[in-house]
Chain A
Amino acid sequence: DVKVTQSSRYLVKRTGEKVFLECVQDMDHENMFWYRQDPGLGLRLIYFSYDVKMKEKGDIPEGYSVSREKKERFSLILESASTNQTSMYLCASRLSGQGVHQPQHFGDGTRLSIL
């Protein structure tokens, strides 16, 4: 069974801090994703990575960056946290699929509060 582990379930940080959210998957998946989830807005893609050291911007990349130095780990970085980044953050991973779209497997999420 696929396991996607996010480092923290709850996190409280202060405005202006640099925040790191970590995600690790154990199934050798090529693709990894970071979303934020807000009520009434569904899941919005922040960044994704189709392989090690590769990254692509999603729909809402402003204020965020990512790092994928190893295949199993995908980190989301809030360069200078702001209150409007208070949200639930979800990490997902999936096999590349070789042209056939494969489902995404999610972590439990990190509820981040910026004070």
Chain B
Amino acid sequence: GENVEQHPSTLSVQEGDSAVIKCTYSDSASNYFPWYKQELGKRPQLIIDIRSNVGEKKDQRIAVTLNKTAKHFSLHITETQPEDSAVYFCAATFHNSNYQLIWGAGTKLIIKP
């Protein structure tokens, strides 16, 4: 079946360095790709999303890139700070469904002081 693979499962970076999380999707019909951040004990919250007609989107220190040919998209966080420590989830739409998302397994990002 369709799936989204997310790597790495755990990422540890020095404060101030950049972090990159990558997701690969299998459904070529996927057209919407959100990223959610879940801090410990809290709800997942949307931090950035991208649609298939766009190759890159940026919002301050975070950016997402999409390569439709290779069917992968990545989250980039620059100048990491302690508050960036969380679990990050990527997702992709299921076929052309207006409802369903397929989720990656999550990446635990640890920012070392």
Binding site for B on A (CB under 8 A): 4, 31, 40-45, 48, 50, 56, 58, 90, 96-97, 99, 101, 103-109
Instruction: Give the A-B pair count, Cβ closer than 8 A.
Output: 49
Q: How far is the CB of A7 from chain B (nearest CB, A)?
A: 15
- Does B28 make an interface contact (CB < 8 A)? no
- Which residues of B lie under 8 Å from residue A4 when comparing CB positions? 43
Binding site for A on B (CB under 8 A): 6, 9, 31-32, 34, 36, 42-46, 49, 51, 89, 91, 93, 98-101, 103-106
- Which residues of B lie under 8 Å from residue A40 when comparing CB positions? 9, 105-106
Q: Are A101 and B31 in contact (CB-based, < 8 A)? A: yes
* Contact sample, A vs B, 20 pairs, CB 8 Å cutoff: A31-B99, A42-B89, A42-B103, A42-B104, A42-B106, A43-B44, A48-B99, A48-B100, A56-B99, A90-B44, A97-B98, A101-B93, A101-B98, A103-B46, A103-B49, A104-B34, A105-B46, A106-B44, A106-B45, A109-B43
